[in-house]
Amino acid sequence: MIKKLQLTCDAPSPCPRQGHTFTLVSGTSGVTGRGDGAQTHSSSAVLFGGRTDSRPGTSTRNLLDDVWLFSFERGAWTNLTAPASAEHEHETSRPPPTHNHATVWWRTSLIIFGGATRDGYSNDVWELCFDGLADDSETFNRPYWKFWQPSSDHATPSPRAGHTAVPHGDLMIIFGGSQSHPPYATDPPYLNDTWALDVSTRTWRQITTTGPIPPPRNWHSASIVLLAQPDGTDAFVMVVFGGYWWDPTTRTEHYLDDCWSLSLPPRRDAGSSDPASAPNSNSWEWRQLSSQSTDPTHTCTPQPRNRHSSIVIQPQPHPPTTLPFYAIAIHGGNVLVNGTDEFLSDTWIGSLQPDSRSVTWQPPSTVPTPELAPTISHHAVVGGALNPIRGEWVDAQVRGLGVSEERWKRAGAVLLGGEVGPRRRSGDLWVVVYGH
């Protein structure tokens, strides 16, 4: 199922854009307006930044720094760009207009790392604090910004854009990206390093991984997947798919279709040790996943692509602990065909086996709605998502989306914006229930 959300015409909404982030609010604090801490659910997502169409007659990049909240329950946007109240000392400090950055949600804050600004690539960390926000109310405290001054006692990642970030307990895990844009490339312009930011202590650590390392890339996707193990335990892996790199030696472009998993340590719970150093012989190990098809008569796997979206879905009903595997849903992106960028609108479902050594792809389903143009640099949030802090499944209040909560939390997503043609950006919201 796929449908375009029809919002009230006279209601405020964000301008069309690409290279933004659209981050699911997951947790139990005042962000959901309940404040009792007893339930884990999400009813909103936060939009930050991106790039919109250039002004007529100019080639200047029109970068954005606005903040919007979309309520799944009300099916409406709220502009949160207004400055915070005077009691916040950081109210006059805010990140510059940014695109191709990465974000995660942590407790009651949006954490932002890196991205491309008008002054070049960044490795800044910003926190947008949502203390006291209630997404089902017309009145709430405005969020406020905090800049995280880097510690001189710890190394930090290099400035970059087009990287990915996933949340895991108190960690924000960064992979890849690019340090500059070809043909003005540094050597090497593309990255394949892994970093973990402990958000609770504001300290970075470069992760020493084992196994073969994925080739450098940017504009790939990364998702956290929970795999139920035969012994009844759960294992978390980060799954990376696709991307792009430019070879400065041969001056050629490469679009990627490989799929990798990175095993992650146990999440940190209250009072436990730092998960980045937790004893686990399988932690921080890269594996390249072999690809196979559910159709034995075809070699059916996604074609190389970049600037696509990737989310995690449940191929079977709740509870998640009964599932032998989970699935990732890849949508859109672009690929080079006969020297020309081709925009994609196809959707692939890839099921991960518990040993995280292979991914089985279902035959592609091109979205059967002609209105939905092939799209790149859009952003998607998932309906049935794991709360990375508590390790519980997130249930969303979705009355404003016109879809049942059971279908939504199993395999639902909202796709926002993107580039739908050369220099043509979209601000549309699409509701997708994969497999229905």
Give, for all 436 residues of the chain, the pLDDT tens digit.
Answer: 555 566 655 678 888 888 999 888 865 333 332 222 223 345 788 999 999 876 555 455 689 999 998 887 777 888 887 554 445 554 558 899 999 999 999 988 999 999 999 999 999 999 998 875 444 444 445 788 999 988 778 899 999 999 999 999 899 999 999 987 655 555 668 999 999 999 999 999 999 999 999 999 999 999 988 776 667 677 889 999 999 988 777 878 889 999 999 999 987 643 444 444 443 446 899 999 988 776 666 567 888 999 998 887 765 444 443 434 567 888 888 888 887 888 888 888 888 877 778 888 876 654 444 445 556 566 665 544 444 333 344 445 455 455 555 555 555 566 776 777 666 777 776 666 665 4
C-alpha to C-alpha distance for 401 and 162, rounded to whole angstroms: 30
Q: Measure the CA–CA gap between 47 and 340, rounded to whole angstroms.
A: 31
Task: Answer yes or no: is 347 within a domain.
Answer: no
pLDDT at 433: 63
93 lies in some domain: yes
Residues in the chain: 436
Asked whether 228 and 323 are in contact (CB, 8 A), the reply is yes
How far is it, in rounded angstroms, from Cα 276 to Cα 203? 12
How many angstroms separate the CA atoms of 310 and 319, rounded? Answer: 22
Question: Is 192 inside any structural domain?
Answer: yes
| 98 inside domain | yes
**Rounded to an integer, what distance in angstroms lies between the CA atom of residue 176 and that of residue 191?**
5
Any domain includes 270: no
Residue 106 lies in a domain: yes
User: Per the domain annotation, does 111 fall within a domain?
Assistant: yes
The residue range of the domain holding 130 is: 10-28+41-206
Partners of 113 in the β-ladder: 102, 125
The pTM (predicted TM-score) of the whole model is 0.83
Non-local CB neighbours of 400 within 8 Å, separated by 6+ positions: 71, 72, 73, 74, 75, 76
- What's the confidence (pLDDT) of residue 135? 46
The Cα–Cα gap between 47 and 26 comes to 14
Q: Which tokens go with 346? A: 């196809």
pLDDT of amino acid 158: 94
Let me know if residue 388 belongs to a domain: no
Residue 350, CA atoms < 13 Å, CB-side half-sphere:
29
CATH number of the domain that residue 59 is part of: 2.120.10.80
Question: What is the tally of structural domains in the chain?
Answer: 1
